Amino acid sequence: MAKAARRITAEDAAGLVRSGMWLDYGAVLGQPDAFDEALARRLGEVTNLRFRSVLTTRPRAVLEADPEGKHVHWFSTHFSGYDRRKHDAGLAHYLPVNLGEVPDYYRRFIEPPDIVVFKTAPMDARGFFNFGPNTLWMRALVERGTVVIVEETPTLPHVMGVGTGVHVSEVDYIIPGHDRPMAELPKAPATEVDKAVARLIAAEVEDGSCLQIGIGGMPNAVCSLLAESPVQDLGIHTEMMTDGIVDLYRAGRVTGARKQLNPGRMVCTFALGSQYLYDFIDRNPEVEFHPVDYTNLPHNIMRNDKVVSINNTTQIDLQGQAASETDGFRHISGTGGQLQFVRGAYGSQSGKSFMCLASTYEKQGERRSRIVTTLTRGNVVTTPRTDMMYVVTEYGMVNLKGRSIAERARALISIAHPDFREDLERDAYEHRLIPREFP
């Protein structure tokens, strides 16, 4: 029997919460604000509340109202800067996932949430609420949630695609949201190092390549260079839609004409950037949003030819293991879709995956190498050595596929910062990564 959704206030919706409940706040720009603020005012009256979400873009009222973590336990499948700070304070927890598998986790392994609440665009004439640029695993949440609450938000972009909304018959309660502008993620400026890395990658992109582009200065720099290049008929099949991809499209480089999967369409599962991006995706039929188990699973990614996957890492060892989500035991982001796109690109006909990093970084006033003999104690491997293809720093590009440990070590040392190469080579010999008799 179809549900009869009721319109209630955010305060009434928060009144449905009982101590010990599991709540799910959805994802990214879809996390609720009006409900969150109303629930924060009930903390103490209700306790031991557990929340799941991903990539928090604004401070959460329930966390701010509970600075000692007495009432709220926050779980995230990928940290934003805000989530990271709360984790540093002992107020948040990371849930390890390959992002493309999360819908299956909800359907098979994760305890169903007692209440699911998230932002949507206002209901349309057919009775549908659009998820906005947060498709991800929202359909699985609606299926699994005991109570489903939507927070109608007029400023949320309305997106096109598959699995992008929920019908009123699947909703229990509707509450009014705010008319605040969406949270924005400013486009990271490209440094000279970013531009040097981007030049090496851009030279490898061919006509008809299908791009997955991550977040950050290096991927943005790649987009800028490609926008000025003669390359034609690029396609987009990515996890995250960014400002840089919009720039590339508007420069006439993206047509999707040579894609085998969703030809002529830019495919993604969520978007995060500036208002420029949000205006572009709003009701734009050329941008298709799909659930994350469509965009991120390798067997779908590889259906397009010439997939080019571009991702960042923070540390790589001489065997080719990439640690992209931790700094020792400190969690900083998440696995996200990195490993799945690395594998999908490799499985694609003529596909290529690129792992980018600056050769050095500063910590406690000291310059350190990002290419190391062995990973920092506590660092988590995001992409295993067996999956690594191209590694790129400002000093060059090497391909690790089909190379022995000694060959990998030599290759990676060659693109490390010159100031660290001698020490890396000495360590490699000492630990027998490179045998003495190696040619």
Contacts of 92 (CB under 8 A, 6+ apart): 63, 74, 75, 76, 79, 83, 86
What's the order of all strands across the beta sheet hosting 322-323? 322-323, 315-317, 371-372
Helix (H, G, I), strand (E, B) or coil at 327: strand
Query: Is the separation of the CB atoms in 233 and 259 below 8 Å?
Result: no
In angstroms and rounded to an integer, the radius of gyration of the C-alpha atoms of the chain is 23
d(CA 59, CA 50): 17
For the chain, the 3-state helix, strand and coil shares in percent, each to the nearest 5, are 30, 25, 45
Q: Is 437 a catalytic residue?
A: no
Q: Where are the beta strands (DSSP E) in 206-350?
A: 210-213, 235-236, 240-241, 266-268, 270-271, 287-289, 307-312, 315-317, 322-323, 326-327, 330-331
Nearest to 345 by CA among 375, 382, 389: 389
Query: Is the separation of the CB atoms in 152 and 120 below 8 Å?
Result: yes
d(CA 386, CA 130): 40
Helix (H, G, I), strand (E, B) or coil at 244: helix
Bridge partners of residue 391, in order along the sequence: 355, 398
Contacts of 229 (CB under 8 A, 6+ apart): 202, 205, 253
At residue 216, what is the residue type?
G
d(CA 248, CA 234): 9
Query: Is the separation of the CB atoms in 178 and 34 below 8 Å?
Result: yes
Query: Is the separation of the CB atoms in 329 and 378 below 8 Å?
Result: yes
From 37, 239, 325, 425, active-site residue? 239
Query: Which run of H or E residues covers position 198?
Result: helix 192-202
Name the phi and psi angles at 243, rounded to 5: -60, -40
Residues forming the active site: 239
